[in-house]
């Protein structure tokens, strides 16, 4: 089964190499040719998983309401079919979707997709003039080739997986909360707006510093490789100290970009933890207030609070995925000029 999925995408396409386009998304689409169908299938699985999870959350609220007023003697006769259906979704539907999602991601795409990019880009670079290689460090060119291939894979796959899953899940959660009472959806709307503002402020900064970091990493690697490649010249002219200073300068430049990136990571964690605490508190207080005034059933409270906790837990993963997406976009932008 694994090998069948591993053979779906050819890692070494025979098409003659062509110059990639300059624009970011055109560049990514250029190297994604042949893999689009598998990425769309993966995105479809991701969307269906999100829908199934929201449906199960919704049923949980209905079940709590039915339990509150159910006749224990006739409960299974009235609720048995629904429970079997939800059990089938939980034990058959979701695992089947997860299996297909995992096989497409890990067997078909994760290894073969970046290998296709490396192969196509390498064949294209081999056809460049001598002056191209004389004007660049060999290590820098190789580093940009390797890190750009991985970055293109991450941007394309995160865009097709994370954005689809998050979009479907958040819309589903909002509809689920609003279906019980419109007021109960307000904390989720407010949280979504503030979360969007945090993304709007944070992500472009991560993208810019990631682009600078990718370039600094390539310079650092290029200088280290250049020192080793020309070690005989370094030793012949006793230039070890000069080479140390030359490499340390590039290492310091790279370290400064790392410090900037970690500062943004700390700001992200602090802001997000505060935002998630506010969401859980506001949903709990509002839900209990509506319940005490008889505007919603206890099942709505039983769904809204776990849903707020679930979104809060997901938000850290979502933020890191978005940060990773724009970090890789920065890496791709850096690699476009060289490739």
Measured CA to CA, the distance from residue 267 to residue 319 in angstroms comes to 12
Q: Angle, nearest 10°, between helix axes 112-126 and 24-32?
A: 110
CATH 3.40.710.10 holds for 2-338:
no
Most confident of 124-138, 241-255, 320-334: 241-255
Q: At residue 182, does pLDDT exceed 80?
A: no
Residue with tokens 């991701």: 46
Q: What are the pLDDT digits (tens) for 301-311?
A: 888 888 888 88
pLDDT band at 196 (very low <50, low <70, confident <90, very high): confident
Please tell me the predicted confidence (pLDDT) of residue 238. 67
Contact (CB, 8 A) for 319 and 199: yes
Select the more confidently predicted residue: 14 or 67.
14
Query: 90: which 2 tokens?
Result: 């939980």
The one-character DSSP state at 79 is H
Most confident of 106-115, 208-217, 224-233: 106-115
Measured CA to CA, the distance from residue 303 to residue 169 in angstroms comes to 14
Q: At residue 137, does pLDDT exceed 90?
A: no
Query: 236: which 2 tokens?
Result: 């012949």
As a whole number, mean pLDDT of residues 212-234 equals: 81
Measured CA to CA, the distance from residue 92 to residue 111 in angstroms comes to 28
Residue with tokens 């062509």: 18
Please tell me the predicted confidence (pLDDT) of residue 328. 83
Please tell me the predicted confidence (pLDDT) of residue 297. 82
Please tell me the predicted confidence (pLDDT) of residue 316. 78
Q: At residue 65, does pLDDT exceed 80?
A: no
Query: 297: which 2 tokens?
Result: 């059933």
pLDDT band at 186 (very low <50, low <70, confident <90, very high): confident
Please tell me the predicted confidence (pLDDT) of residue 239. 67
Most confident of 58-67, 153-162, 277-286: 277-286
As a whole number, mean pLDDT of residues 147-165 equals: 86
Please tell me the predicted confidence (pLDDT) of residue 79. 82
Q: What are the pLDDT digits (tens) for 267-295?
A: 888 988 899 899 889 988 998 898 888 88
As a whole number, mean pLDDT of residues 31-50 equals: 92
Measured CA to CA, the distance from residue 292 to residue 289 in angstroms comes to 5
The domains of the chain are located at 2-338
Mean pLDDT of the chain: 85
| Confidence (pTM) | 0.75
As a whole number, mean pLDDT of residues 30-49 equals: 92
pLDDT band at 330 (very low <50, low <70, confident <90, very high): confident
Measured CA to CA, the distance from residue 31 to residue 325 in angstroms comes to 17
Measured CA to CA, the distance from residue 204 to residue 325 in angstroms comes to 11
Please tell me the predicted confidence (pLDDT) of residue 37. 92
Q: What percent of the chain has a predicted confidence (pLDDT) above 90?
A: 24
Q: What are the pLDDT digits (tens) for 71-116?
A: 777 878 888 888 899 899 989 999 999 999 999 999 999 999 999 9
């Amino acid at each position: 089964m694994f090998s069948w999925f591993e053979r779906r995408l050819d890692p070494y396409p025979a098409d003659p190499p062509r110059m990639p386009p300059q624009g970011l998304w055109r560049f990514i689409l250029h190297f994604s040719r042949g893999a689009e169908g598998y990425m769309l299938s993966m995105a479809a699985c991701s969307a269906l998983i999100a829908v199934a999870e929201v449906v199960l959350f919704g049923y949980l609220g209905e079940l709590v309401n039915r339990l509150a007023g159910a006749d224990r003697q006739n409960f299974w006769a009235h609720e048995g079919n629904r429970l079997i259906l939800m059990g089938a979704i939980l034990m058959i539907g979701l695992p089947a979707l997860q299996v297909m999602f995992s096989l497409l991601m890990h067997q078909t795409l994760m290894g073969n997709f970046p290998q296709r990019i490396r192969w196509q880009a390498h064949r294209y670079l081999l056809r460049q003039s001598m002056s191209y290689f004389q004007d660049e460090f060999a290590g820098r060119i190789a580093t940009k080739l390797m890190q750009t291939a991985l970055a293109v894979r991450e941007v394309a796959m995160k865009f097709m997986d994370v954005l689809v899953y998050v979009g479907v899940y958040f819309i589903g959660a909002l509809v689920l909360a609003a279906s019980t009472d419109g007021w109960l959806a307000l904390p989720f709307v407010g949280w979504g707006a503030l979360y969007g503002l945090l993304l709007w402020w944070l992500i472009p900064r991560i993208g810019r510093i990631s682009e600078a970091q990718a370039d600094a990493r390539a310079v650092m690697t290029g200088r280290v490789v250049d020192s080793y490649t020309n070690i005989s010249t370094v030793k012949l002219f006793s230039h070890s100290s000069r080479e140390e200073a030359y490499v340390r300068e590039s290492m310091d430049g790279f370290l400064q970009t790392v410090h900037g990136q970690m500062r943004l990571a700390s700001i992200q964690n602090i802001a997000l933890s505060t935002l998630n605490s506010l969401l859980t508190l506001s949903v709990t207080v509002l839900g209990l207030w509506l319940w005490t005034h008889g505007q919603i059933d206890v099942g709505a409270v039983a769904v809204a609070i776990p849903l707020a906790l679930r979104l809060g837990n997901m938000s850290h993963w979502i933020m890191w995925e978005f940060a990773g997406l724009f970090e890789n976009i920065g890496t791709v932008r850096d690699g476009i000029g060289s490739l």
